[in-house]
């Protein structure tokens, strides 16, 4: 299979237009059309509904798109790995994460790791929490740093703990609970909540609900958000309460929002480094050794 066809297909799905896809790739519209038709012949299925304006992938096309994105990432990673090794004898280690709190857990080991292994280049990629385990299993990244809930039940993934903590209530200064030093379970569930949506954080959404039920309450989730910035917007503008890890820093909003500890709550979490047990990247073994050394002290 011609790997360039994969790029044309991805761009076509995202541009929804043959002309724009051709311009993006500095080729003719005829070339793009021929390459897409060749893909459809190769897989013996229609991938693009050309009758729709703008064009629309078929159901098979959407399935193909998901796999094509992973394949294109694999190809580019392989190409970069080989170029760096041939030119500079540098090995790459790709790390995926979903939130700033994940990165904070790694920061203390990076300086000593770089000093010991100057020929290993670290690459950081932010992805949705719900996609963390799937992308790791597909081999797109070497290491995933995320909440332990995303690795549960994945027998091909091994993990190493980086941080254990508790969730706090994120409360705006207009909220009646803003000046509390800590909040009890019965008090927090009197108020409507905002949470990151399951399309953004996957299993962690349902785990939070299970924790609430374990506390003896069913949460009143009034809104969901696709990112932390939107969640904070609703916390401030609509006086909703959110749940944030205790190691989250609100430096730029410290006058507007407080993180208040929860009393006797099941809302706990762990941040772990996950990796495939059959990953043969030599840089991974060096990184895992550094993790064990740094976090065993």
> Which residues, including other chains, have CB under 8 Å from residue 49's CB and lie 6 or more apart?
55, 56, 57, 58, 61
Same domain for 188 and 233: yes
pLDDT tens-digit profile of 206-229?
A: 888 988 898 888 899 999 999 999
Same domain for 119 and 53: no
pLDDT at residue 297, rounded to an integer: 58
Same domain for 87 and 228: no
- The answer, yes or no, to whether residue 252 has pLDDT greater than 80, is no
Same domain for 117 and 254: no
Whole-structure pTM value = 0.74
Same domain for 158 and 289: yes
Residue 177 to residue 134: CA distance in whole angstroms: 39
> Which residues, including other chains, have CB under 8 Å from residue 106's CB and lie 6 or more apart?
95, 145, 162, 273
Residue 2 to residue 39: CA distance in whole angstroms: 9
Same domain for 36 and 96: no
CATH code for the domain in which residue 149 is found: 3.40.190.10
Note whether 149 and 204 are within 8 A (CB).
yes
Q: How would residue 108 be classed by pLDDT, with cut points 50, 70 and 90?
A: confident
Exposed (0-12), middle (13-18) or buried (19+): which is 30, by Cβ within 10 Å? exposed
Same domain for 149 and 86: yes
Q: Which helix (H) or strand (E) holds 48?
A: strand 48-49
Same domain for 179 and 261: yes
Residue 74 to residue 26: CA distance in whole angstroms: 23
Note whether 226 and 191 are within 8 A (CB).
no
17: containing domain: 3-78
Same domain for 128 and 41: no
**Residue 175 carries which DSSP code?**
S
Same domain for 150 and 275: yes
| Number of domain units in the chain | 3
């Amino acid at each position: 299979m011609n790997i360039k066809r994969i790029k044309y297909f991805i761009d076509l799905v995202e541009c929804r237009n043959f002309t724009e896809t051709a311009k993006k790739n500095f080729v003719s519209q005829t070339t793009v059309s021929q390459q897409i038709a060749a893909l459809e012949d190769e897989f013996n299925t229609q991938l693009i509904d050309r009758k729709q304006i703008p064009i629309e992938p078929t159901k098979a096309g959407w399935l193909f798109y998901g796999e094509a994105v992973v394949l294109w990432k694999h190809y580019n990673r392989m190409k970069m790995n080989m170029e760096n090794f041939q030119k500079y004898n540098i090995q790459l280690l790709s790390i995926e994460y979903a939130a700033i709190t994940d990165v904070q857990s790694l920061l203390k080991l990076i300086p000593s790791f770089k000093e010991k292994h100057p020929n290993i280049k670290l690459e950081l990629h932010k992805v949705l929490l719900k996609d963390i385990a799937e992308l790791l299993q597909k081999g797109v990244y070497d290491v995933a740093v995320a909440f332990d809930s995303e690795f549960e039940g994945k027998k091909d993934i091994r993990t190493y703990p980086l941080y254990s903590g508790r969730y706090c209530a994120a409360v705006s200064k207009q909220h009646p609970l803003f000046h509390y030093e800590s909040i009890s379970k019965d008090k927090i569930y009197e108020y409507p909540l905002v949470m990151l949506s399951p399309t953004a954080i996957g299993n962690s959404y349902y785990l939070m609900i299970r924790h609430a039920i374990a506390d003896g309450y069913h949460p009143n989730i009034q809104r969901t958000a696709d990112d932390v910035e939107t969640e904070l917007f609703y916390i401030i503008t609509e006086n909703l309460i959110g749940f944030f890890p205790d190691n989250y820093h609100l430096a730029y909003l410290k006058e507007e929002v407080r993180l208040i500890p929860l009393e006797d709550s099941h809302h706990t979490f762990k941040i772990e480094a996950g990796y495939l047990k059959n990953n043969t990247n030599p840089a991974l073994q060096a990184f895992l050794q550094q993790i064990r050394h740094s976090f065993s002290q």
